Amino acid sequence: MDATTLNALIDCAQVLAVAVIGGLFARDNRKRKQRLADAAEESRLNMKLLSAGLCLSVETARALKRGTVNGEMDDALDDAEDAKKEYYNFVNSVASKQIAG
Please check whether residue 75 is in contact with residue 56, taking contact to mean a CB–CB distance below 8 angstroms.
no
pLDDT in tens, the chain (101 residues): 688 888 888 888 888 888 888 888 888 888 899 889 999 999 999 999 999 999 999 999 998 898 888 888 888 999 999 999 999 999 999 998 888 87
pLDDT of residue 58: 92
CA 50 to chain centroid, in Å, comes to 18
First to last CA, the chain: 45
Rounded-to-integer distance, Cα 23 and Cα 97, Å: 21
- Specify the 3-state DSSP secondary structure of 84: helix
pLDDT of residue 52: 94
Please check whether residue 45 is in contact with residue 90, taking contact to mean a CB–CB distance below 8 angstroms.
yes
pTM of full prediction above 0.85:
no
